[in-house]
Chains A and B, each alone.
Chain A
């Protein structure tokens, strides 16, 4: 992965998308192979590697008794961000949480919680950002803003990996696609590159390409 790239991780249910993201975030060890984040081996130098990454799960995990602003202060300290207090305002502004900076998680809607989890992931300006199903539970406005956030992170030089079932979103946002099934790589590259390996798929939408590559040729019923 290069800075500025957005990789879409797609695959059927149970393919191992979340497991992959958890492994490259240092939450679980990989069964084999090695992971390097910003040049640091995740197994040998986990702290340095983790300082360069952010993992944003599909279900926001927030601490019951910390306010929005305190979450950011807390995470800033964990990641050793000396100017965290100065970063909090702009970040909350970008994610439209400014008027909720003193609110506890119980006072936030699902979408706001998701935004707070994203803000916590971005406070240390990570070089790699991993989103697990980033559009889960968001309304249309939230979906549009989330896509903007992902693009902006990439423009600022972060490498972004996101997992999603929403193929049109992957097609729209990602520069490359990684299709996995049963924990194994099925295809990797831009959509054009993937199709160039399978000429019979030329001209098909990504959904059809995905179904063909994962061996699921069922056509939707009714």
Chain B
């Protein structure tokens, strides 16, 4: 049985690569491949990033911070992870494999082997990007350590998704069955929070000094008894990656492998939950068939009714408005998003209530973190927010049949994501502003903060729109090479792909922004002696006009590509 599943994996990969290689006959894909190789070669000949930048930071502290980040990611997955199992089988797999004489464990194993493709790719990317650093560990040892780390994290996400699926299906009954694991999570989070609460003043003081002082202080804090104990399992997984010598690495690998194996056993043995899910799905299917045979419509609606859309769609008007409306409704109905927003607000409210009496001293830290997160979204947001063509190209047949021009489709799809991303950034900045109003933070008074916020209101939509047009353009020009659909490889194990994709994207964005910024800035400088502050307003208007012109030209060009798009190329990308 393993051989036949192996055959399926091997042939699928081979044929997929073959189909994608055929695309190279198209000059656009060939050029992209050459540029891609040139980019990788540039990365390879560069002294690796860890050599240049990692030397000044202590590896020990980095390992501890890495353990903290890993703990945060795991906690995030438990609290905000998807309610559906991470192991999703394609319709073909369900059709052929589920009724076949294959055990559930073999099915889980098959999926795990398939997921190794992404993990191995990202291990290779990490080794290429960061090399072995200054610590002299051979590349294969570093690769093995990274593979262990990524595989463990991936298995943990699958195991957690099984538990979450079970909870979602069985409610309180499921919760009682999972009481042990839930109690461990709650106790762990409480212990870490408790252990770090009294260290917050030290961290705050470090913020006044600089970033390396912050890292140093956080590293020190993590060595306090409670965080140290809580982070031990995470350290055990991280330590092989941070090892300095082969001996250290070998010693660290043993417990890391043990944790990996424990996770493997956990996931494989979780097939009880898997069986339940399948049984329930079969039961639902049987009910449906029975209802149809009775001539009645099946009662499929057991979930909550859909929430009302944020705004009502007028029956006439710009067709792109309908696309924007559709995409925003979809975002609004993603319950996971609202869970994140509400929980963040709850945490912020609790935190502010706890430190309210020392508000002045905490304003800088809180507002800095919120504004920093808005900045992170500026860089990575266009990769993460995908309610645009990257999702809708799966419906290419349907979209193409609509009487809507390519430029309208492209601009509306890009605008949808840009609006969502901008709303998130503005929300974070608004919170940052509210947290720091009345307090002078690092010499920045309220007037300056308000001016910065007003500037962000104008600049962010423009930058986001260009960023989204670039991302949508990549999906449109290379549909056979881009992962389409609302989901993309995620988690720490897919971080390498994000790191690889980010610099070229930022470069393209910088190139696109340079002319409007240059024109706006030059105009402001030229006019400021005569117009004073008004000159900066004029410069901003010119900047926005420049971005608008670029967005128009990009939409027209990409709209032409959309009109010429072969939907079969998107079918290839969609068949994951």
Contact = CB atoms under 8 A, between A and B. Distances in A.
B288 A109 contact: yes
A112 B405 contact: no
Interface string B296-330: 01101101011001000111110101110110011
B295 interface: yes
B401 A77 contact: no
Interface centre among A57, A63, A112 (most CB of B within 10 A): A63
Contact of B330 (A27, A48, A57, A65): A65
Given A65-B334, A73-B315, A78 B400 contact: no
A109 B315 contact: no
Contact of A67 (B306, B405, B564): B306
A76 interface: yes
B398 A51 contact: no
A109 to B, nearest CB: 5
B317 A78 contact: no
Interface centre among A65, A108, A109, A141 (most CB of B within 10 A): A65
Contacts, number: 111
Contact of B400 (A27, A51, A111): A27
Contact of B401 (A26, A67, A82): A26
A109 B397 contact: no
Give the interface residue-count category, chain A.
Answer: 35 or more
Contact of A27 (B300, B314, B329, B567): B567
Interface centre among A28, A55, A78, A84 (most CB of B within 10 A): A78
B301 A85 contact: no
A66 B396 CA distance: 17
B403 A78 contact: yes
Contact of B292 (A28, A85, A103, A109): A109
Contacts of B303: 104, 106-107
Contacts of B298: 109
Given A103-B301, A109-B292, A79 B329 contact: no
Contact of A22 (B330, B333, B397): B397
Contact of B322 (A26, A50, A78, A141): A78
A182 interface: no
B315 A77 contact: yes
B90 to A, nearest CB: 15
Interface residues of B, number: 40
B402 interface: yes
A50 B396 CA distance: 15
A64 B403 CA distance: 21
B351 interface: no
Contacts of B403: 46-51, 78-79
A80 interface: yes
Contact of B567 (A28, A74, A78, A103): A28
Interface in A53-99: 53-55, 57, 61, 63-67, 70, 73-85
A82 B164 CA distance: 45
Nearest to A96: B297
Nearest to B309: A70
B397 A78 contact: no
A104 B306 contact: yes
A24 to B, nearest CB: 10
Interface in B319-355: 319, 321-323, 325-326, 329-330, 333-334
A107 B401 contact: no
B248 interface: no
Given A28-B566, A109-B288, A109-B292, A66 B401 contact: no
Interface centre among B322, B397, B401 (most CB of A within 10 A): B401
Interface string A125-144: 00000000000000101000
B401 A63 contact: no
Contacts of A53: 401
B322 A77 contact: yes
B319 A65 contact: no
A24 B211 CA distance: 62
A84 B319 CA distance: 14
Contacts of A108: 300
A49 B322 CA distance: 20
Nearest to A86: B315
A77 B319 contact: yes
Given A83-B315, A107-B301, A77 B321 contact: yes
B292 A64 contact: no
Contact of B316 (A28, A70, A80, A104): A80
Contacts of A47: 403-405
B297 A55 contact: no
A135 to B, nearest CB: 15
A66 B564 CA distance: 28
A201 B325 CA distance: 56
Contact of B315 (A76, A102, A103): A76
Contacts of B326: 63, 66, 70, 74
B526 interface: no
Interface string A154-182: 00000000000000000000000000000
A80 B319 contact: yes
B336 to A, nearest CB: 12
Contacts of A114: none
Contacts of B566: 28
A57 B397 contact: yes
A50 B305 contact: no
Given A27-B567, A107-B301, A109-B300, A65 B329 contact: yes
Nearest to B328: A65
A55 B292 contact: no
B66 to A, nearest CB: 36
A67 B398 CA distance: 17
Interface string A1-42: 000000000000000000000100111110000000000000
A22 B399 CA distance: 12
5 contacts: A49-B403, A73-B313, A77-B322, A80-B319, A139-B292
Nearest 5 CB-CB pairs, A to B? A50-B403, A65-B330, A77-B322, A51-B403, A107-B301
Interface of B: 288, 292, 295, 297-298, 300-301, 303, 305-306, 309, 313-317, 319, 321-323, 325-326, 329-330, 333-334, 395-398, 400-405, 563-564, 566-567
